[in-house]
């Protein structure tokens, strides 16, 4: 189900809680909402649809990947960049890493590890910041 986007900074500034197997419907709504907003978004965090759970969805070619409880376990090649949040239409200069290793769980709660590079790595770092209540 496509949900309404939440732009309230006070809500978005709060930390999200760990996701569980009971949150599968939220993960699906997140994909549906991302799919409906692909003109501006390359990924979304669950708090953007009003659910303070540690779930993100990203585009991966024609597919979507939902990551529950994503955590950066490795990072390399730091750089400085200007980054904009499509939700808040604000941007700032910050440090990101070219390559990140992300440990996460799928909706069956199976543990996965993915290495991301470049733009996808940046999107995931941005979304994990959202889960931590950090806004650019
Ligand atoms: Zn953002």
pLDDT tens, residue by residue, 72-128: 999 999 999 999 999 987 889 999 999 999 999 999 999 999 999 999 999 999 999
CA nearest to 64, candidates 84, 101, 37, 100: 37
- 17 DSSP assignment: B
Q: What is the mean pLDDT of residues 47-62?
A: 95
Q: How far is ligand 1, taken at its centre, from the CA of residue 80, in Å?
A: 17
Q: How far is ligand 1, taken at its centre, from the CA of residue 79, in Å?
A: 19
- Domain ranges in the chain are 9-131
Q: How far is ligand 1, taken at its centre, from the CA of residue 7, in Å?
A: 10
Other C-beta atoms closer than 10 Å to the C-beta of 7 total 12
Give bridge partners of residue 12 from the DSSP assignment.
Answer: none
Q: What is the mean pLDDT of residues 40-64?
A: 95
Q: Is the pLDDT of residue 136 over 90?
A: no
Q: How many residues does the chain have?
A: 136
User: pLDDT value at position 62?
Assistant: 86
Q: How far is ligand 1, taken at its centre, from the CA of residue 44, in Å?
A: 8
How far apart are alpha carbons 22 and 28 in whole angstroms? 12
Helix (H, G, I), strand (E, B) or coil at 123: helix
* The domain over range 9-131 is classified in CATH as 3.40.50.720: no
**Pairwise pLDDT comparison (129 vs 62), residue with the higher score:** 129
């Amino acid at each position: 189900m496509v949900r309404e986007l939440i732009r309230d900074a006070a809500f978005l500034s709060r930390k999200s809680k760990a996701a569980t197997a009971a949150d599968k419907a939220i993960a699906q709504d997140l994909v549906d909402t991302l799919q409906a907003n692909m003109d501006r978004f390359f990924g979304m965090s669950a708090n953007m649809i009003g659910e303070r759970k540690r779930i993100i969805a990203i585009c991966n070619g024609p597919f979507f990947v939902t990551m529950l409880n994503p955590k950066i376990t490795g990072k390399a090649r730091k750089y400085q960049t200007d980054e904009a949040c499509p939700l808040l239409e604000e941007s700032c200069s910050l440090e990101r890493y070219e390559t990140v290793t992300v440990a996460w769980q799928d909706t069956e709660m199976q543990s996965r590890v993915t290495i991301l590079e470049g733009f996808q790595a940046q999107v995931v770092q941005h979304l994990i910041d959202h889960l931590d209540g950090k806004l650019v």
